[in-house]
Amino acid sequence: MLAAANFGESYVLELVALVFVIAFIVRYVVPFLRTALERRAEAIAAQLDAGEQARAAAAALVADRRAALEAAEADAEAVVAQARRAAEQLVAEGRRRAEAERARLVERAEVEVARERARAEQEVATEVGLLVLEATRRVVAAELDAALQHRLIDEAIAAAEAEVSA
């Protein structure tokens, strides 16, 4: 019954002890926990800020890389277009040169053919003149006397030379 008789007093003492424990916790433990939690919150906020800055930097880097890639693609397209134009110009220049070379060769061949034709005509005329001269000499020699023969031969030679010279 001792416990029942001291119940009110024990309850009050426990209540006072509880108030002191709560006051001690509020006075010493809560500020310590509060500063620890604030430091942790600041560290988390700093990490979040650093993450946001890193994300922004990465986004800027990606944008820069994309811009550089687009510029490189545009440059590559320009180089390819320039190369195509240069190739077309080279082909056109090659065709022009080939046509000029063909025309030059045709002209040279025509001149050569004309020269060879003239030379052949000259050779034929000379040969024909010599053959006519020889034939005339034989005919005249068989039918004419020596003085007449010499005069006719000289006339035939002069005529053949005049024909060859013309």
- What is the per-residue pLDDT for 81? 92
Overall pTM surpassing 0.75 (yes/no): no
- What is the per-residue pLDDT for 127? 80
- What is the per-residue pLDDT for 142? 64
CA 44-48-54 angle, to 5 degrees, is 140
- What is the per-residue pLDDT for 144? 60
C-alpha closest to that of 132 among 162, 90, 96, 105: 162
- What is the per-residue pLDDT for 1? 39
- What is the per-residue pLDDT for 2? 46
83 conformational bin, left if phi > 0, alpha if psi -120 to 50, beta if neither: alpha
Q: Give me the amino acid identity at 89.
A: Q
Question: To which residue do tokens 């010493």 refer?
Answer: 28
Instruction: Walk along the chain (166 residues) and give the pLDDT tens digit of each residue.
Output: 344 556 778 889 899 999 999 999 889 989 998 999 999 999 999 999 999 999 999 999 999 999 999 999 999 999 999 999 999 999 999 999 999 999 999 999 889 999 988 888 888 888 877 777 777 777 766 666 677 777 878 888 888 777 777 6
The H-or-E segment that residue 60 falls in is: helix 30-143
C-alpha closest to that of 156 among 143, 144, 147, 135: 135
